[in-house]
Amino acid sequence: MTRFAIREATLDDADGIARAQTESWRSSYRGILPDAVLERLDLARWTESRKRIARDRSLFQLVAYDVTHGDIVGFCDAGPARRGAAMAGEIYALYLVQHAKRHGLGTEMFDHVASWLRAQGTPSMIIWVLETNHHARRFYEARGGRIGGTFQSQVYGHSVLERSYLWAHL
């Protein structure tokens, strides 16, 4: 029996996505971002942000959920590339809570995004990953991502280096 499934997100998913985002950040970024940053994550702020994102029809948004309870265990947001990558799509976020990892959900969401971008006539894709997030970097390398440039940014006031992965032909 299948434990998890994927579907397109709806506005009603905002609370569940915010909970999954908070939980996944706290587990995935432990040891990568300072504990103080992870403890300050604001669920209410992320819920409001998720509601705004859900209204954006230019985005492709997926959720992974537990088929038994309906709880959202992950999400993926994609759309046009943000940083100067003409004719490219971008995965903005792909997160799973710890107990939903290693069930193929990340690969399935990645593949759905690639198919959606191809259907939109978008021939390439980019994703930005924290340089020190070796688990995520291995995941994208296993999907054929080519290492691209870097970008210095901030996560809740903490300086981070982001690394891009590129797919020239979807």
The tens digit of pLDDT for each residue in 36-47 reads: 999 999 888 888
In a domain, 144, yes or no: no
In a domain, 153, yes or no: no
This prediction's pTM: 0.93
The secondary structure of 62-93 as a DSSP string is EEEEETTT--EEEEEEEEE-SSS-TTEEEEEE
pLDDT of res. 108: 98
pLDDT of res. 85: 65
**How many structural domains is the chain composed of?**
1
Residues of the chain with pLDDT under 70: 1, 84-86
In a domain, 111, yes or no: yes
In a domain, 140, yes or no: no
Token match 């994102």: residue? 53
pLDDT of res. 2: 80
Domain limits for position 69: 4-123
CATH (domain of 73): 3.40.630.30
